[in-house]
């Protein structure tokens, strides 16, 4: 039986989230649609599947179903078109809450002076449900049907039972579907774990599954590298940490030999690497090694496929 393998892409947007998140650093603002298209083509070439976040209100600049401040409308629409036509067929689409930064005030339409992870920590289950419901609706309004939720940073980890229930209830409210999942736990430096049921309401038939990442992000070092050569070197070192050229070492080798799913994690801005695409080049090298070393012993799947495997009777 082939082991499942999946790719998690966090922070997906037509803008670079690091631009607003780290104003003390110099970052490019717009991520060109040519880059998004190159990513989609690369994944199609190697048969890659997984999860791709689309932030409904990236960096709090506005709503995808309306307009984003400072972003040309044609740029936003171009990004959404690529996601709909070339990415959504291979990847689960999820919101990463609403902004991945400052919390949106649902009642007044402005931003609170508190980031979403901290707000969720103190919010009620009902408040989180309302918040996530808007995230699902915005994506649906632009032609993207979410299958689950991505948690920015460690959002929800301090009150996970309420958080998981809110995800399930928001998903049912918007889509009338009784099964969903979320990504929160990063276990790249910890013992691996298979997806697990985190909340269930048997009376209503609602089920929510937690799907963890089982690697760290191999491309963190690409963004702040001062030169293209150093960014590329950092990316290749990250690939080596996942799987060495000879296939004998690395996190993926450990997971494969232990029989765990190979659930990879990276971030959109790390692939972009300030316009150098060093992370994307590294990702291609990683795909080449995976194909050469593991071949047909692994099978690319989406995160929702992995989530369903946690439910008895679906294994």
Domain boundaries, the chain: 3-308
Q: Which tens digits make up the pLDDT trace of 150-191?
A: 999 999 999 999 999 999 999 999 999 999 999 999 999 999
Q: How many residues does the chain have?
A: 315
Q: What token pair was written down for 200?
A: 């269930």
Neighbour count for residue 308 (Cβ, 10 Å): 18
pLDDT of residue 236: 98
Backbone φ/ψ region at 218: left (φ over 0), alpha (ψ -120 to 50), beta: alpha
User: 76 pLDDT band (50/70/90 cuts)?
Assistant: very high
Q: Is 224 helix (H, G, I), strand (E, B) or coil?
A: coil
Query: What is d(CA 67, CA 206) in angstroms, rounded to the nearest whole number?
Result: 34
| 265 Cβ contact list (under 8 Å, min separation 6) | 8, 10, 186, 188, 213, 215, 216, 217
The structure's pTM equals 0.97
CA neighbor of 136 nearest in space, from 91, 176, 78: 176
| 254 Cβ contact list (under 8 Å, min separation 6) | none
| 62 Cβ contact list (under 8 Å, min separation 6) | 68, 69, 71
pLDDT of residue 1: 84
Q: What token pair was written down for 97?
A: 């809450």
Helix (H) or strand (E) holding 206: strand 206-210
Q: Which tens digits make up the pLDDT trace of 231-279?
A: 999 999 999 999 999 999 999 999 999 999 999 999 999 999 999 999 9
User: 128 pLDDT band (50/70/90 cuts)?
Assistant: very high
pLDDT of residue 32: 99
What is the CATH T-level fold of the domain 3-308, as seen in this structure?
Answer: TIM Barrel (3.20.20)
pLDDT of residue 315: 60
pLDDT of residue 200: 98
Residue 314 has pLDDT above 90, yes or no: no
Query: What is d(CA 73, CA 94) in angstroms, rounded to the nearest whole number?
Result: 22
Neighbour count for residue 134 (Cβ, 10 Å): 19
Range list of H helices, the chain: 17-21, 33-46, 73-82, 116-122, 125-141, 160-175, 228-242, 251-258, 268-272, 278-294, 303-308
């Amino acid at each position: 039986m082939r082991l499942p393998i999946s790719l998690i892409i966090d922070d997906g947007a037509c803008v670079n989230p690091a631009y607003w998140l780290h104003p003390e650093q110099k970052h490019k603002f717009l991520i060109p649609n040519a880059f998004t298209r190159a990513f989609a083509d690369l994944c199609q070439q190697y048969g890659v599947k997984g999860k791709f976040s689309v932030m409904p209100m990236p960096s709090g600049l506005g709503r995808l179903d309306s307009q984003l401040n400072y972003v040309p409308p044609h740029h936003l629409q171009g990004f959404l078109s690529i996601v709909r036509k070339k990415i959504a067929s291979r990847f689960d689409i999820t919101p990463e809450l609403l902004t991945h930064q400052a919390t949106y005030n649902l009642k007044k339409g402005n931003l609170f002076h508190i980031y979403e992870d901290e707000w969720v920590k103190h919010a009620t289950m009902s408040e989180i449900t309302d918040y996530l419901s808007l995230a699902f609706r915005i994506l649906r309004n632009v032609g993207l049907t979410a299958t689950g939720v991505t948690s920015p940073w460690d959002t929800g980890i301090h009150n996970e039972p309420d958080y998981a229930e809110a995800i399930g209830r928001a998903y049912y409210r918007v889509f009338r579907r009784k099964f969903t999942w979320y990504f929160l736990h990063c276990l790249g430096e910890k013992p691996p774990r298979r997806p697990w049921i985190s909340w269930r309401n048997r009376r209503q038939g609602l089920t929510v599954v937690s799907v963890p990442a089982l690697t760290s992000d191999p491309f963190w070092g690409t963004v702040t590298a001062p030169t293209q050569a150093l960014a590329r070197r950092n990316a290749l070192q990250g690939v080596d940490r996942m799987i060495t050229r000879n296939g004998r070492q690395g996190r993926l080798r450990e997971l494969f030999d232990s029989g765990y799913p190979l659930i990879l994690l990276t971030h959109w801005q790390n692939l972009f690497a300030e316009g150098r695409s060093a992370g994307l080049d590294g990702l291609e090298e990683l795909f080449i090694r995976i194909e050469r070393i593991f071949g047909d012993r692994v099978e690319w799947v989406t995160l929702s496929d992995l989530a369903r495997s946690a439910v008895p009777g679906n294994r």
